[in-house]
Amino acid sequence: MTTIALPRGAALFERNARAHRSHFLIIFSGFFEPLFYLLSMGVGLGHFVGKVPGPNGELISYASFIAPALLATAAMNGAIYDSSSVFWKMKYMKLYDSVLSTPLGPIDVAVGETSWALFRGLLYAIAFLTTVSVLGHVHSAWAVLALPAALLVGFAFAGMGIAGATFMRTWQDFEFLNLVQLPMFLFSATFYPLSVYPGWLQVVVRCTPLYNAISLIRGLMLGVVGWYQLVNVLYLLLFGAIGVRIAERRVGKLLLR
Amino acid sequence: MSYALRSYEFWLTFYRRTWRGSVATSIVNPVFYLGALGIGLGTLVNKSGTTPDGVEYIAFVAPGVLAATAMQIATNEAMWPVLGSIRWTRGYYAMLATPLQIRHIVFGHQAWMATRVVSSCAVYLAVIAAFGAIHSPLGVLALPACFLIGVAFSAPMAAYSATLENDAAFIVVNRFAVIPMFLFSGTFFPISRLPQVLRWVAYLTPSWHGVDLCRSLTLGRVDWGLAVVHVAYLAALAVTGLVFALRTYRRRLMK
Amino acid sequence: MNAAAELPLVHARGLIKRFDDLVAVDGIDFDVQKGEAFGFLGPNGAGKSSTMRMIGCVSPPSGGTLRVLGLDPVKNGADIRAQLGVVPQEDTLDLELTVRENMLIYGRYFGLGRKVVHERAERLLEFVQLEERLDSKVEPLSGGMKRRLTIARSLINEPDILLLDEPTTGLDPQARHVVWDRLHELKHRGATLLLTTHYMDEAEQLCDRLVVMDKGKIAAEGSPVELIRRYSTREVVELRFAAERPPDDLAARIDGLARRVETLSGRLLLYTDDGDRTAERVHELGVQAQSTLVRRSTLEDVFLHLTGRTLVDE
């Protein structure tokens, strides 16, 4: 029998890395999106917003407030973007049909694709965090932990994203994904503190995955760290694990019938 | 023109199968944006004392997002559907095998893109009105303005799409042109906040002309001289785009 | 070799595949021996691909017994797949990679070392005559080249069994012959081939033994020659008519001239052992056919006899 030393999904990771070599500009450009948002909203609009209360009530600049949220959102969007490529690979390129005719199984596909999404997310997080700290919006050494945190956020959404992609029938269905993604982006205390909302709405927002991601990274980057971040971590771990599980099942169900 | 209508009919038929997602998006997105930025973020802006243009923030940002939406729908409709009709579904070739000619294909598809832009913007405008953020009856004219913005983006974009081999360029265009225009041409804050050099760059973007035109209409603060400049600029872009589209389509499809 | 060598590589008894309320494969039995080229012949929808997918361990059987290399596909899927080469009906080449990379990455899926894969990739691409397109992208390749690349790719793990699902469907005649040529070469080297096809010439060319499938069941089994001998005659006379249907009374008039007569759209087939003699007698009767053709019997005739339908829609 063939011996398989590495996790078998590793071959899929290598495949993605090779496939993206010619798309360097696309990967590279991904970094600019959060930066543009930071400059536009944080700096341009920030003038009109003034200081806002941070997680512990201390007043901070608007750019420092939204920078962590943009990092979290970038991690989410990156993971979801990659999962839309899973849809393409599955439906049009029939990539997994060939993968599954080798010793690899659905779980290897889920692991391989997720780890690729995470790797890209990590690259973006490093670039963004470096830029933000140069611009002076990092306020604590805890911010180093924002990197693994961004990775965790990527994991949380990658699994769910791939799972979601397996339910898509056509490209048009991705509009429905947008219907989930956009409100999360806009309403998860990204651009203004939770305190703007009435009490019941605050509870609802606290339950969303992106809010937990933002809360975690904001706490780390601003140096306001407490047990609540632990709750965020557990939430994201669980969310991601469920996603990967669903993704594995769906890939199996769709392709191994 | 009736020939172009036949091509238009193709897109309409195609859309009938897939309209649910985009209708939901075009109604819900404006509500989301206005809720989050106009009301949520607006709370902070209004509290701070200085608001852009001296109006409550929602009245400032809503027309900006309206124009930006016209831009985004138009560019997107001129990206994948155009390249797809050449490379993947080959729908354009199917049309060419009938009495339709290049110009009918171009105009029919452009008319369809404009339909998508105008219908979505009409919904958007209604939502803005419901939020009480339209300050003048002139606001109604923002709809034809959106039509103009739409064609000013969809025609040049389609002309470009017809020259491509794959869709990699779309992501780059989105990230280095569409999103910066969305963020920096007066949508969320006046471009007077930009450094001098960037301000001049912003003046050159069609999105700034679109945003400023729409905003002047919904706020009822129209400087007619400037408005003529906006309209002329966008119209020139639209016409140039159509001329180029005719050329690139012909070169691509008739070779 | 020990006794295990005599066990069939693929063994199926009462094999069933159901999709909701559609029965795609309806209780079939067959064995494939080592070194054999075994074919599934049948029209689209006969259950050939479903059978192949079950053997390829990417589709769990709904009933019956299936053993591949002595193992159970449901429990030991990954182990079996490690020893299989699969050429699917539609090419599943990786369009984002080059020809060489397609080979490398596919080899990596099998957990093969880089050096081994490199060396095999070069050799196999030479074997399928693609050595000049090593660094080309996949998309601009012709249909025949893509097919050959898929075949080369399926050999990267030096499989014990090669599964080919309609290997030449959609190829032009020249490209088909190149593919057949490569498959013959593999056969000579002792490879075990399992293939599906709806072309009788392909089955006659490549298969040592085959089963004729229809509506999920096996209608007949044997070598091409055996099947023709058993279910057809040595020769066939084809009478072609300009009209959609041959004259109604014709079949009755020529009854007795042949062992069996089939009426098709615009054609009449007379099954006989001496085609020229039969053709002569038909003409003596004064039958006005647009053209008359005497030919050898083919698997097409076997299929027609077994099911009353032609194999490939004309």
| C311 in a structural domain | no
Nearest to A18 among C79, C93, C105 (CB): C105
Number of neighbouring beta carbons within 10 Å of residue A39: 20
d(CA C212, CA C210): 7
Token reading at A124: 């973006």
For residue A5, name the pLDDT band (cuts at 50, 70, 90): very low
The gap from C-alpha C285 to its chain's centroid, in whole angstroms, comes to 41
pLDDT at C27 > cutoff 90: yes
How many residues would you count in chain B?
Answer: 255
pLDDT for residue B57: 94
Classify burial at B213, counting beta carbons within 10 Å of its beta carbon; exposed 0-12, middle 13-18, buried 19 or more.
buried
Q: List the single range of A21-25, A210-214, B198-202, C242-246 with lowest mean pLDDT.
A: C242-246
Residue C8 covered by a domain:
yes
C192 and C241 in a common domain: no
> Is some CB atom of chain C closer than 8 A to the CB atom of A17?
no
Interface touch C92/A2, C-beta < 8 Å: no
Q: Which pLDDT band holds residue A2 (cuts at 50, 70, 90)?
A: very low
Confidence of residue C28 (pLDDT cuts 50, 70, 90): very high
Q: Which residue has the higher pLDDT, A210 or A166?
A: A210
| Residue pair B211/B68 in contact by the 8 Å Cβ criterion | yes
CATH number at residue C132: 3.40.50.300
CA distance B83 to chain A (A): 15
Q: What range defines the domain where residue C183 resides?
A: 3-224
Judgement on whether residues C18 and C160 belong to the same structural domain of the protein: yes
Work out the minimum CA distance from C93 to partner chain A, whole angstroms. Answer: 7
Confidence of residue A29 (pLDDT cuts 50, 70, 90): confident
Q: Which residues pair with A4 in a beta bridge?
A: none
Contact with chain B for residue A241, Cβ under 8 A: no
Of C211 and A180, the structure prediction assigns the larger pLDDT to C211
What was the ipTM of the complex prediction?
Answer: 0.90
Would C203 be classed as within a structural domain? yes
User: Which residues of A are less than 8 Å from C93 in CB distance?
Assistant: 98
Distances C37 to A86, A166, C189 between C-alpha atoms, Å: 36, 37, 12
- 3-state class of C199 per DSSP? coil
Q: Which residues pair with C210 in a beta bridge?
A: C39, C222
Measured between CB atoms, does A171 come within 8 Å of chain B? yes
CB atoms under 10 Å from CB of B137, counted, come to: 9
Q: Note whether residue C303 is domain-resident.
A: no
Distance from the Cα of B104 to chain A's closest Cα (Å) equals 26
Question: Which residues of chain A neighbour B15 with C-beta distances below 8 Å?
Answer: none
- Alpha carbons C46 and B136: distance in angstroms, whole number: 69
Average pLDDT, rounded, for chain B: 91
Contact (CB, 8 A) for C56 and A101: yes
Q: Are B178 and B206 in contact (CB under 8 A)?
A: no
The answer as to whether C313 is a domain residue is no
**pLDDT higher than 60, residue A1:** no
pLDDT of the residue at B73? 92
Tokens at residue A50, please?
């003034």
Percent of chain C with pLDDT over 70: 95
Decide which of A85 and B228 is more confident: B228
pLDDT of residue A137: 86
Structural domain tally of chain C? 2
- Calpha distance B83→B157 (Å, rounded): 11
Res C47 pLDDT > 70: yes
Question: Which of A203-207, C1-5, C157-161 has the least mean pLDDT?
Answer: C1-5
- Other Cβ atoms less than 10 A from the Cβ of C312: the count is 11
List chain A domain ranges: 10-16+29-255
- Assess whether pLDDT exceeds 90 at residue B47: no
Question: How many whole angstroms separate alpha carbon C113 and alpha carbon A60?
Answer: 54
Report whether pLDDT(C2) > 50.
no
Hey, is B18 helix, strand or coil?
A: coil
Partner-chain contact C90 A93, CB within 8 Å: no
Q: How many CB atoms lie within 10 A of CB C224?
A: 21
In a domain, C283, yes or no: yes
**Does residue C176 fall inside a structural domain?**
yes
Do the chains contact at A18 and C60, CB–CB below 8 Å? Answer: no
**C-alpha to C-alpha distances, A3 to A97, A163, C109, C116, nearest whole angstrom:** 22, 30, 11, 13
Question: What is the phi/psi pair of residue A60, to 5°?
Answer: -130, 165
Using the Cβ of A14 and the Cβ atoms of chain C, whether some distance falls under 8 Å is answered with: yes
Give the E-state strand segments of C179-222 in sequence order: 192-197, 209-214, 217-222
Model confidence at C313: pLDDT above 60:
no
Q: From C80, C87, C93, C51, select the one nearest C165 (Cα to Cα).
A: C87
pLDDT above 80 for A7: no
The alpha-helical segments, DSSP class H, found in chain A are 10-20, 24-29, 32-37, 46-49, 62-91, 95-99, 106-134, 146-165, 174-187, 199-206, 209-222, 227-255
Q: Cβ distance B71 to B32 under 8 Å? A: no
- pLDDT number for residue C205: 85
- The answer to whether C91 and C165 have CB atoms below 8 angstroms apart is no
Answer yes or no: is C306 within a domain: no
Select from C224, C254, C276 the last residue of a domain.
Answer: C224
Q: Do A172 and B44 touch (CB under 8 A)?
A: no
End-of-domain residue from the set C180, C200, C224: C224
CA–CA gap between residue C38 and residue A29 (Å, rounded)? 52
Whether A116 and A17 have beta carbons less than 8 Å apart is answered as yes
Both C203 and C237 in one domain: the answer is: no
Interface test with B, best of A175, A184, A187 (most B CBs within 10 A): A175
pLDDT, mean of residues C286-295:
84
For residue range C76-133, list pLDDT tens digits in order: 999 999 999 999 988 889 888 899 999 999 998 998 889 999 999 999 999 999 999 9
